[in-house]
Amino acid sequence: MTRRFENKVVAITGGSDGIGLATAKLFALEGARVYITGRRQEPLAEAVKEIGHGAVGVQGDVTNSADVARLYERIQRDHQKVDVVFANAGIYEAAPLDAIDDARFDATFNVNVKGMVFTVQKALPLMAAGSAVVLNGSVAGGKGLPGQSLYNASKAAVRSFARSWTNDLKERGIRVNVVSPGGTETRMIRSYLESQPEVEEELSKSVPLGRLGEPNEVAWAVLFLASSESSFVAGHELFVDGGFAAV
């Protein structure tokens, strides 16, 4: 480890498992002071133990702006700054057009879009020039994948915000980028694939590298986008998908 993030303060939403947890572990190993959020206290506490290195968990729901504010209030008390924000929290639910209702629409957009917006907005008072924002998008944001138009659209919104915020924040020296995973071996996708076993085979066949990704493979991309190694990368969408989007 190069300890690229020595004494840097990193905030990660949805850090209790999956890509968020994998990323938190790598940041901690690289010297960062890591703060994670999660909706449920018990998994959050277990994740903090797993991360180690003085990681802090702040229980909260990203759809509740007061919970998001509480995360940054804690960080302000401890460090008075945020160097990296990884807006990772998100949900996935497949729903064909005729099955979309108010509850499904609100659930998807409240977490994937509203929660992401306020995760970034409320961090800004603590961010200085040289800070970085990484948004968790998806290859679905640029695809018309069938039966999941709500999810696709929510991730397309993430990509759009990154473009706009790159211009909005350029004078402050804050970079914004998107990491867009393909199918990744997380608890969320595994529960879906177990209910649809034929989908996993088709998904693997559609990926040139022939498999699902691993959370660590996405996490390394996040660290690159958050580090000084990507200092001239802004408004970019980095696909971590085994070639699915490009081929």
Residue-wise DSSP of 1-28: ---TTTT-EEEESS-SSHHHHHHHHHHH
Nearest residue to 239 (alpha-carbon basis) of 161, 176, 181: 181
In which band, very low, low, confident or very high, does the pLDDT at 74 lie, cut at 50, 70 and 90?
very high
Residue 244 lies in a domain: no
pLDDT for position 66: 97
Average confidence (pLDDT) over 168-180: 98
pLDDT for position 200: 79
Residue 231 lies in a domain: yes
Spatial separation of the C-alpha atoms in residues 56 and 140, rounded to whole Å: 31
Residue 246 lies in a domain: no
Count of structural domains within the chain:
1
Structural domain including 143 reads 9-239
Give the whole-number percent of the chain exceeding pLDDT 70. 100
The H or E element spanning position 157 is helix 149-168
Residue 94 lies in a domain: yes
**How crowded is residue 41: how many other Cβ atoms within 10 Å of its Cβ?**
11
Least confident of 30-44, 156-170, 174-188: 174-188
Residue 107 lies in a domain: yes
Sign of the alpha-carbon torsion through 221, 165, 232, 155 = positive
Residue 1 lies in a domain: no
Residues with active-site annotation = 151
CATH number of domain containing 187: 3.40.50.720
Q: What is the pTM of this model?
A: 0.95
Residue 4 lies in a domain: no
